[in-house]
Amino acid sequence: MDNLNSLRLCIFSILVVIFLPFTTKAQGDCQATTLDQFFECYGGKKVFSEHSIKALTTFVQVEEAINAGNYIQAKVLMDDLYKTYPVGDNLWWQVWNAPNGANVGSPHCYYGLRMMEDIIAYGLKPNPLAKVKKVTMNIVLVGCSKGILPTTKEELEKGTGQFVTHTLNPKLKENNYQIIRQSLDLFIKYIKAITKGSLEIHVGFIELDTLCLPVSVSKEKPYVASGDYGLVLNALTKAAKDTTDWFMINYPSHVPEFPVFDDESFITGGMGADNKGGPVFIADDKWVVRKPAHLGKGNYTDIERRTYLPQWLQHEFFHHLYRIYPELKLEVNGHDWFDRKFWASDFTGQFETDYYSETLHKRLQIDCEPLAKKLITRIDKIRASEYSSLSIDELLGSYSLDNIQNTWHEGDIIRQNDNYFWKNKANVQWEVMPNFTEGILKTGDDSPYKGQDFFLELYQTVEGDIYPGVISLKFGGEYYKKRFGLMRQSLPIELALGNYARVPSNNSHHTGNLIKSQGRIFWENDAGDSWSLIPNTNDECLNHMANSPTPNEKFQLILVNTPCDVYNLGFKYLNYYYWKPKRLLQDESPKVVKSINNVELQENFGNYTINLSEIFADNQGDSLLFFVTSADTNLIKGTVYNGKLILLGGNVGNTTLYAMALDKNGGLAVDEFDVLVTSAVSTVSNPHAAADISISPSVAHDIIFITGLTQDYRVELVSAITADSEILSVSDTIQTIDISHVPSGMYFLIFTNTITGYTQRDKVIIY
């Protein structure tokens, strides 16, 4: 929001390349669909260099192998080409200009080949766990354009000429939009590959036959022959704009097609943005039909369209990528990559597409904001429940761009009486009104940016989980980040929302949910109790209100850092831990590898240490966090220090302790054991043992053997984590129990003598 007139609706770029003058004329238009037909059309193979023939042949063969799903063959073909003509080598300057008006990209096929490298790499190693999202890309076909068309250089310089009306080239609609689909095919595969399978483009078509776009031709170089694409977007229905991520606009060309202009180039489009910040590819209709003067002669053959248009699409797409990752400073002043000195020191290559590949693999793909997350811009009605949890008052406060260049880039949501306003540091303000159904703050008539609203950006984890906490306002495609009340200055307290279960979980009071409603956070347990909580971001906790059974107590959040995010694993409340379910189910949880034996200690024993690294392990090598809970902290207190469990205390009595290990995914393992504190050392090693009852093995998969039972005993299998239980039948003094149906985890076999009341508990690990 640089000033009152910066509507950001006219953002154009041009594919800037250097072309040598053509010395021969095109052989004429042809309908070549095969490579042999293409060569014949443009003078035969004899007029093409060996390098050019190799590049063209490899491109076509590799693309065909990819379409057939034969990625091994595709890689062999690609590697064979690069042995002779390595990536980024000066040799590629020798195939910059095709003969006789052909256009197969500059260097020949090089952009498409580099794009296919990523497609092949993903094809050879796809991601079966990718959370696939659909990108809705709508192709908008404008039926008409009108304006003054110069017929001579003099008219061009004066801005005069004939008033003409153009209609859309019918070739764009023929055979179910065949040439548009052909133009997009490689690019669509490329997007899926570079997002590791997370994005798939769904192409749709919107025909605006009755719209006649005003167009004009500029008087000075660089010549521009285009119109305001904002008028096209405004002609779309609200539903079309809300449900589209990417647009491509094709309108009838207004390029003067007269011999006097044969050597002139005209900018007809480029890359823009809609009001949600999504990319808008812009081109006139002839861009996919014929070669403009600065690129070649005549209409495109299928071969040329397949080899060149991916080059244009990649160029415009990376303009968009660099715009939505401003913090990476990959494009600062526009087309910076044409200056080789601008490239980072760890980048290799020399051509434009080399720069794209380097930034993709060394900056964008390793950034903590995944491409798939950044490239979905449609208004998602699925998020309506998250938006409905918000309140306008929680949005009050300061916001700013990461790159603040003037006082319009900082502002506050303020309240004046019963109305709310955006007020920037330039002291300009306009009214905003919440529409949480659509996740926006609508702007009033006093806004200097007519028709542009603030989009509420919710917190989203790297895995794509969404929480009802606003972290920024998106306006004009730029992100004004919230600058107050954010945990660790970047995350909202709402990351604590979700399901929890206590360890141990003995009843419905020990499980529940942290929820948000109309801007307020509540705890609701499964017993039906509910009370409100006040976020305390400084202490990273949730304080209890007066309606809590424990006023002034708190849920102390347990946060962990990962390279790309901060996660809340659970919270501590009244000396107990409440844990969230693990985030990624396929990530294996820690395990108990050596169970802790019941412990007998003498009164006032001081401290007793157990090395938890011997008790728990993680098969994936994840680092573990250790915690301990005592059922009776007045008797025994447990603490964890440097990977060791230290028991403190010493009052006479008996209690149960729960040692816990978590990985950063929230995977949980629990080992439960009893501690007996006596006034003198007992000669009984296990105060609850019954000499005639034993189990084997203690770590089992399918079968547990129990000996010494009589029909006087009731046997119960209880989960140490969920408290789910199952009564087991007893018929003989030797009991075989099939546990193959029981999920892996820590369990207890509880033996209760129904006559004497005697109870014995034995721990079992089922894997």
Helix, coil or strand: residue 60? helix
What's the rounded mean pLDDT across residues 54-73?
98
Distance CA 395, CA 470 (A): 7
**Among 637, 624, 638, residue whose Cα is nearest residue 668:** 624
- Label residue 54 by pLDDT band (50, 70, 90): very high
Residue 19 has pLDDT above 50, yes or no: no
- How far is it, in rounded angstroms, from Cα 482 to Cα 459? 11
Sheet holding 636-641, edge to edge: 606-611, 644-649, 636-641
Question: Angle, to 10 degrees, between the axis of helix 302-324 and the axis of helix 174-194?
Answer: 50
pLDDT on residue 17: 39
Decide if 63 contacts 306 (C-beta within 8 A): yes
H or E segment at 312? helix 302-324
pLDDT band for 2, please (50, 70, 90 cuts).
very low
Lowest-confidence pick of 146-150, 329-333, 718-722: 718-722
**pLDDT for residue 690 is more than 60:** no
Alpha helices per DSSP H over 125-257: 153-158, 174-194, 229-234, 238-242
The confidence score (pLDDT) of residue 8 equals 35
Distances (CA, A) of 522 to 114, 135, 533, 535: 52, 35, 6, 10
pLDDT value at 190 more than 50:
yes
Bridge pairing between strands 694-696 and 703-707: antiparallel
Q: Which of 210-224, 449-463, 629-643, 708-722 is most confident?
A: 210-224
* Confidence bin at 110 (pLDDT 50/70/90): very high
Which residue type, as a one-letter code, is found at position 310?
A: P
Q: What pLDDT, on the 0 to 100 scale, is given for residue 25?
A: 40
Q: To which residue do tokens 């946060």 refer?
A: 559
Confidence of residue 93 (pLDDT cuts 50, 70, 90): very high
Whether the Cβ atoms of residue 499 and residue 569 lie closer than 8 Å to each other: no
Res. 601: pLDDT tops 90 = no
- Reduce the DSSP state of residue 307 to 3 states and report it: helix
Average pLDDT of span 697-705: 80
pLDDT of the residue at 530: 96
- 81-90 pLDDT, tens digit each: 999 999 999 9
Q: What 3-state class would DSSP assign to 359?
A: helix
| Amino acid making up residue 537 | T
The band of 684, judged by pLDDT with boundaries at 50, 70 and 90, is very low
- Per-residue pLDDT band at 111 (split at 50, 70, 90): very high
Place of tokens 């929890």: 500
Q: Which of 341-345, 433-437, 631-635 has the highest mean pLDDT?
A: 341-345
Residue 287's pLDDT is: 96
Q: What is the mean pLDDT of residues 393-421?
A: 93
What's phi and psi for 101, nearest 5 deg? 80, 10
Query: Greater confidence, 17 or 411?
Result: 411
- pLDDT for 503 equals 95
Task: Give the tens place of pLDDT for each residue, 201-233.
Answer: 999 999 999 999 999 999 999 999 999 999 999
Say how far apart CA 570 and CA 576 lie, in whole Å: 11
> Which tens digits make up the pLDDT trace of 369-383?
788 888 998 877 667
Q: How far is CA 273 from CA 289, 323, 329, 377, 468, in A?
A: 24, 10, 19, 11, 26
Per-residue model confidence (pLDDT) at position 1: 53
Confidence of residue 755 (pLDDT cuts 50, 70, 90): low
Query: What is the CB neighbour count within 10 angstroms for residue 251?
Result: 29
Q: Which three-class secondary structure state does DSSP give residue 156?
A: helix
CA angle 601, 605, 609 (to 5 degrees): 75
Closest to 677 in 3D by CA, of 656, 694, 662, 661 = 656
Q: Roughly how many angstroms between the first and final C-alpha of the chain, as a whole number?
A: 59
Closest CA to 180 of 30, 315, 302: 302
The residues, ordered by sequence, that sit 6+ positions from 86 with a Cβ below 8 Å of its Cβ are none
DSSP 466-523: EEEEEEEEEETTEEEEE-SS-BTTTB-GGGG-EEEEEES--SGGGEEEEEEETTEEEE
Angle 517-494-239 from CA coordinates, rounded to 5°: 65
**Range name among 19-23, 47-51, 641-645, 729-733 with the lowest pLDDT average:** 19-23
682 contacts 758 by C-beta, under 8 angstroms:
no
Question: Are 715 and 704 a contacting pair, CB within 8 Å?
Answer: no
The reported pLDDT for the residue numbered 331 is 95
Task: Please report the pLDDT score of residue 31 as a whole number.
Answer: 85
250-262 confidence digits (pLDDT tens): 999 999 999 899 8
- Please state, in angstroms and rounded to a whole number, the distance separating the CA atoms of residues 211 and 344: 45
pLDDT at 731: 62
| pLDDT at site 460 | 86
Q: Do 134 and 202 form a contact (C-beta atoms < 8 A)?
A: yes
Digit-coded pLDDT (tens) for 465-474: 889 999 999 9
Give Cα separations from 29 to 122, 299, 751 (angstroms): 37, 6, 90
- The number of beta carbons lying within 10 Å of the beta carbon of residue 178 is 13
Tell me how far apart the alpha carbons of residues 494 and 487 are, in angstroms, rounded to a whole number. Answer: 9
Q: What is the mean pLDDT of residues 90-110?
A: 95
d(CA 143, CA 606): 87
Q: What pLDDT is stored for residue 592 in this prediction?
A: 95
Between 345 and 486, the more confident residue is: 345
Q: What percent of the chain has pLDDT over 90?
A: 66
Encode pLDDT of 274-326 as tens digits: 988 899 999 999 999 999 888 888 999 999 999 999 999 999 999 999 999 88
Whether pLDDT at 238 is above 70: yes
Q: What is the chain's mean pLDDT, rounded?
A: 89
Per-residue model confidence (pLDDT) at position 696: 79
Q: Which pair of tokens denotes residue 375?
A: 């490239």
How many CB atoms within 10 Å of residue 134?
12
Mean pLDDT check: name the lowest of 5-19, 655-669, 693-707: 5-19
Which backbone phi and psi does 203 adopt, to 5 degrees?
Answer: -95, 130
Q: In a 10 Å sphere around its CB, with 0-12 CB exposed, 13-18 middle and 19+ buried, how is residue 421 labelled?
A: middle
Is the pLDDT at 7 greater than 60, yes or no? no
- Percent of the chain topping pLDDT 70: 93
The whole-number pLDDT of residue 636 equals 85
pLDDT at residue 540 in the model: 92
User: What local confidence, expressed as pLDDT, does residue 612 receive?
Assistant: 95
d(CA 139, CA 329): 30
All domains of the chain, ordered by start, with CATH?
Answer: 35-373 (no CATH), 380-482 (2.40.128), 495-579 (2.40.128), 591-678 (2.60.40.10), 694-766 (2.60.40.10)
737-740 long-range contacts (CB < 8 A, ≥24 apart) are 737/703, 737/704, 737/705, 737/706, 738/702, 738/703, 739/700, 739/701, 739/702, 739/703, 739/704, 739/766, 740/701, 740/702, 740/703
State the Cα–Cα distance between residues 386 and 383, nearest whole angstrom: 5
Higher pLDDT, 720 or 434: 434
Q: What is the DSSP secondary structure assignment for residue 86, as one 8-state letter?
A: -
Element containing residue 8 per DSSP (H, E): none
Measured in whole angstroms, how far is the alpha carbon of residue 427 from the centre of its chain?
36
658 has pLDDT over 90 = yes
Using CA atoms, how far apart are residues 719 and 236, in angstroms rounded to an integer?
A: 57
